[in-house]
A and B are shown apart, each in its own frame.
Chain A
Amino acid sequence: MSRRAALSSLPEAIADLVHDGDTVALEGFTHLIPVAAGQEIIRQGRRGLTLVRLTPDIVYDQLIGAGCARRLVFSWGGNPGVGSLHRFRDAVENDWPVALELEEHSHAGLANAYVAGASDLPFAVLRGYAGTDLPAHTAGVRTIACPFTGERLTAVRALRPDVAIVHAQRADREGNVQLWGLTGVQKEAVLAAERSLATVEEVVDELEPRPNAVVLPSWVLTRVAEVPGGAHPAYAHDYYERDNAAYRAWDAVSRDREAFGAWLEALRAREAVA
């Protein structure tokens, strides 16, 4: 394979990779959340997106409040340790600013849907969802029989996002990406997606080998953009800590349509990072 990820600026990467109506997964399980990339999608005014993420947190609240999404595929939508995502709730409860269709899973189900996508399989099998009300509302969940024993199991449809976006600690100049600490479902999301972007804290000449670090080789990524601080207010292990105060402060902005509107205006006025 001679394909290599292109190093580019964040605005250029988003303009190239994310189009109106796309299915876009921004992953990072509490750690390494691609917040700057999500905010650049808002700045570029994308519409009609299907957003995918296990744990929609404040950057998805922002994307939903800004009217970028028409559909959300998720398993837990809250402000961790704080409470509700009020823009998400306003969209579901009151169709504001636009109606939001939901495809709702458990973490296990959605994680396995990525695994199936990354493995190029049509579905994944797990013990899950049995007896819950989730399958009645979620088209991508079915009961199947084990072909060997007849045992009843659950199938979840594979996820194949148009674009996966992750944030990582480092990349080299060839576009190989290294991330460590809690690694969530980032590798699965990138390998399941048609196109992908990794934003990184820094681009270095050489990646030092690290035990247990996930390396996404350049040839499975489409673009890499250097965005220092790109996960803030989430954290980047060995770079900066979680800004718990910012998560708490988001609550007041999110609760109020007007306060959110002012926040959105300020975001659009700011120059893109990097």
Chain B
Amino acid sequence: MSAPVGGAAAVGGGAAAPAGDWTADEMMSVAAARALEDGTSCFVGIGLPSTAANLARRTHAPRLVLVYEAGAIGAKPARLPLSIGDGILAETADAVVGVPEMFNYWVQPGRIDVGFLGAAQIDRFANLNTTVIGGDYAHPKVRLPGAGGAPEIAAGCGEVIVIVRQTPRSFVERVDFVTSVGHGRGPGDRERLGLRGRGPVRVITDLGVLEPDPDTCELVLTALHPGVDAEQARPARARGDGGGAMTAPPERREVVR
């Protein structure tokens, strides 16, 4: 189940893409794709997680089982879907199930190995906010889409990988609203809350990779993407310098446009 730390190892030994021929977002998707092991199952949200999971399936993980919350299990889309419910997902799936079945039979009992989540805000324990920013709940400054499947994915999947662009607005001391629980307020919180998956094991940004410290559960910078230094890649208040680990630059076959 566990993938190489920080996606720091090159996966296929394939030809590197020419330097500068990829963007920070592409590096983030590539690092996220590499974190998915062949033969595992992955609950996929739309956007960056979907891009990364499809990239993994087309490169090193052809037997990766993609699970989309609209009800497609084992989807094999030939093109990137725009929504989690594109027809191509149902047409290519091993099984198509309703929403209650998806959450009750597949997510809740821990039958999905990896959950991929994004967020508007993330704190140092990798708790995630996709609900409201600023103001009070009834009249927020910014109303975000809300929870969707994320709270149960965060609770029930074997482990969680978070993909988020690193900005001062996204990495905050405390999230304005806990939509999905990462490691709560620290060690033991997940067990106390009855959350059975391991929670976030890795946070992949456009600059590097963070992982929870095994003792404190606080996110620590464990790898840098090529061309990025630790000062840039370390969110405010976070520890770590990457320990000399650098994500291998994208290979040619990993940069798909």
Contact = CB atoms under 8 A, between A and B. Distances in A.
Interface in A88-141: 88-89, 92-93, 102, 104-108, 111-112, 114-115, 126-134, 137
A167 interface: no
Contacts of B82: 80-81, 242, 244, 247
Interface string A202-219: 000000000010000000
User: How big is the B interface, by class?
Assistant: 35 or more
Contacts of B195: 130-131
Which of B70, B89, B180, B194 has the most CB atoms of chain A within a 10 A radius of its CB?
A: B70
Contacts of B85: 29-31, 80, 182, 242
A93 B139 contact: yes
B101 to A, nearest CB: 9
A46 interface: no
Interface in A56-92: 74-78, 80-81, 84-85, 88-89, 92
Given A127-B156, A184-B98, A133 B140 contact: no
Contact of A134 (B71, B135, B147, B193): B147
Which of B71, B145, B184 has the most CB atoms of chain A within a 10 A radius of its CB?
A: B145
Given A81-B83, A133-B131, A182-B85, A76 B142 contact: no
Interface in B21-70: 46-47, 69-70
Interface string B147-161: 111111001100000
B178 interface: yes
Given A74-B146, A128-B155, A244-B82, A92 B99 contact: no
Secondary structure call for the B interface:
loop
Interface stretch (B102-110, B163-171, B240-248): B102-110
A37 B94 CA distance: 32
B81 to A, nearest CB: 8
Given A93-B140, A137-B137, A75 B148 contact: yes
B221 interface: no
A23 B121 CA distance: 33
A31 to B, nearest CB: 5
B189 interface: yes
A247 B189 CA distance: 40
B46 A80 contact: yes
A112 B193 CA distance: 20
A132 B104 contact: no
Contacts of A77: 143, 145-146
A165 interface: no
B12 interface: no
B122 to A, nearest CB: 15
A242 B194 contact: no
B140 A114 contact: no
Contacts of A244: 82-83
Interface of A: 29-31, 54-55, 74-78, 80-81, 84-85, 88-89, 92-93, 102, 104-108, 111-112, 114-115, 126-134, 137, 151-152, 181-185, 187-188, 212, 235, 237, 241-242, 244, 247
5 contacts: A126-B108, A127-B152, A130-B194, A132-B151, A185-B100
Given A80-B82, A112-B100, A241-B87, 5 more contacts: A89-B142, A105-B147, A107-B147, A130-B195, A133-B131
